[in-house]
Amino acid sequence: MLADIYCKKHLYGWFVKPENLNTDPRILDCYFKHPEKLNFADLWMSYGQVPALNQLWSIAEETLPAVSAKLYYYQLYGKVDKDTKVMWRAVTRYNSTALAQDAEAHFYVFLLEMARSAASYYYEPMAGCENAYTLYLKDMDGKIIAVAPDVICGEDIENDRATRMFNAMLFPIVETGKGYTFEINDINEVQGDTISYTYAGVWESIQTYDTPEDAWEALTTACELLTDLRNYQRGDEDACGPFSVTLVNPEGVQAEHPLTYTSISARNAAMEYVLNAISAEGLHLLEHILMRPRTQQQSYEAWQLELSWYTQRESMILLQFVNEAVYADAASYVKALQEAAIANEVYVDQQASTLTISFYKKDERLAVAKLAATDELIALLSDLSSVRTAMQSLLANASTEQVSTVVIPIVCSTENAILPICDDVCLCCDEEEATDKENAIYCDRTFLADPYSFWATVVLPAWPQRFRLARFRQFFEDTLRREAPAHIRLNILWVSPQQMLEFEGAWKNWLAALSREESCDYNDSLQALNLVLKELKNVYPAAYMWDDEGGDDKPLILLDEAMLA
C-alpha cells in the first residue's frame, strides 16, 4: 500500500479532515499552486464537511406587487452558517411549492454540472451602471437556467467565475442516464491568461442510486472509509497495468479509484505506453475464409500392452492397455503395471457406453483399457476384487513381446468450429417468379451454402460521438461497401465497449493460434471466436420522437436502425 500512502494527501483531497478545516493550506495546495486567485471566503463547501442537500437547495417565494400573488422557486445557497449566501436562483416560477418540488427537486444537480464549464457563464452589463454586471448560467442549448442575485463588479468577474466553477467541480453528486452517482474530483488549475480549472475523477461510486439523497448517504459512508487504509484493496490487475484501487466496506465495493501510480514518473510512463499501444478506436475487418477449420491431424505415439483374458465366457476378452504416464522403455512400462496390480491400484469406471480399467500409482493414472459397456461385461467387472485378482494373474506372465507402439490421434472438438449457414436470408427461390427491382438484390443464393467464400465481418465501435449519428453511420457503411471488392459481402456490426472487449480477446487468441496450428489450440480458439461473433448485437444510436413543435431540423429515425430513448 506504499502507493496509497504516497498519494494519500492527493487522493483524499477535500475529504481529509485538516487541522484548521477549509483554511488549512496543505489541503488547498493539493489542487492548485495559486489559491490566491480564488475568492476563498466564498467557497461554499468546507474541506472538513459538506452541507446537507436540503440546506443547499430550498424553496423561496416572491410576491407579485400588482396582484399580491405568490410565486415559488428554488435557490442554491452557499456557505451554510451565519453568513449564508445565495449563489444561484432558478429562473422558473411556480404557483405552489408542490409544483416546484415536482419539477425541480433535483434540478440543482444539473445546474452544478453546467456550472463546471466556463462556457455556461454570461455576464450581462447592467443598464445605467458602467462597471456592474448580472451573471446568468446557461445550459448546453444556450437557455438561461439560473441567475446570480448579487451585482458583480467588472474587476471581480474572473475571480467570481473561477470560484463558482471550483465549487461546482467539488460538488460530489452527478446525474447519469440511469440515476445518480457520487464522485470525488481532483481539481487542477489550467495555466493561461485567464483563470480556469480542470478536474479528473479520483474516486467514483460503483453503484447507481435512485435519488441524490441515496447517493449522498453512500458518499457519507465512503468518507468514513477513506480515512482508514485498511479499507483499501487492490483492484483487478494484468501484466500491462495500470493498477486500480478499490474502497471496500463489509457490504461490498463502495467506490473505485480508476488509476493510481507510485510516482509521477510512473504515471507519465504509463500514459506514453497507452498512447503507443492504443492507436485506434477498434475498427476490425475479419475475412471469413481465414476462419475455416484446419484439417491437419495431430497425434502422438504410445505404448500398448495386449492381454488375453479368458473367463467363463465362450470367447476371451482382449485388453489393450495404453500408457498415460511416461516410460523409458517397454520393460519399465510392464513393471509399473505389475507393481500397481500387486498394490491393488486397479479401478473400474463406467462412462456412458464405455467401461474403463485403469492402473494407478497414488494419484497418477499409469494406463487405461477401454471396453464396450455390454450387460455381460458390466456384470463381470462389477466385482472389483475379482478384477484385481485377474489383473495380477495376467500381468504375472506379461512380457515386453506383448507391448507394441501405437499412434493415438488427438480428437479436437469441432462442434462450434463451423460458421452457421444463412439459409433464411434470401427473399426468393428458384421456382418462384421474378421479383421487383427493389428486392432483386437479395435474390442471390450462391453464398448461402458457403459462409466462408466472399464474406467478411466488420466490427466497429458504436460509442464514439460521430458514430452515434445515424446519418454518419449510414454514410460510413455505404463507404465501406463501395470500397470493398464487388464480390465481397460485408457483415457490419456496431458493438458496445463490453462486446468489443470480448471480441478483441477472442480475436487475439485466434490470431496467436493461427500462427501456430499446434494441437487443439487452433480449434479451441476458433470455436471461442465463433461463439463471440454469434453473440454480437448491433448497438443502435439513440433517437427521440418529436412533436410538431420540434422544428424542421428533426433527427432521422430509421426502423431497426435506431433505439428510441
Question: 56-98: per-residue pLDDT in tens?
Answer: 888 988 887 766 788 999 998 876 555 677 889 999 989 899 9
Taking 60 as the threshold, does the pLDDT of residue 5 lie above it?
A: no
For the ranges 170-174, 233-237, 462-466, 523-527, the lowest mean pLDDT is seen at 233-237
Q: Topology of 1-30+176-279 in CATH?
A: PH-domain like (2.30.29)
Exposure pattern of 426-436 as b/e (b: 16+ CB <10 Å)? beeeeeeeeee
pLDDT of residue 21: 45
For the ranges 77-86, 185-194, 293-302, 545-554, the lowest mean pLDDT is seen at 545-554
pLDDT of residue 246: 66
Q: What is the mean pLDDT of residues 522-529?
A: 84
Question: 368-382: per-residue pLDDT in tens?
Answer: 998 888 888 888 888
The residue with greater pLDDT, 521 or 342, is 342
Domain chopping of the chain, boundaries:
1-30+176-279, 36-171, 284-293+416-550, 299-409
The residue with greater pLDDT, 522 or 440, is 522
- 206: its cell numbers: 460503483
For the ranges 57-66, 332-341, 424-433, the lowest mean pLDDT is seen at 424-433
Q: What pTM did the predictor assign?
A: 0.41
Question: 391 φ, ψ to 5°?
Answer: -65, -35
SS3 (DSSP) at 113:
helix
Same fold yes or no, 1-30+176-279 and 36-171:
yes
Taking 70 as the threshold, does the pLDDT of residue 278 lie above it?
A: no
pLDDT of residue 342: 92
> Angle between the 384-396 and 330-342 helix axes, to the nearest 10 degrees?
140
Question: 451-502: per-residue pLDDT in tens?
Answer: 778 889 999 988 887 887 778 888 899 999 999 998 888 889 999 888 888 8
pLDDT of residue 23: 44
Q: Topology of 36-171 in CATH?
A: PH-domain like (2.30.29)
The DSSP secondary-structure symbol of 1 reads: -
pLDDT of residue 480: 92
Query: Distance between CA 338 and CA 328 in Å, rounded?
Result: 16
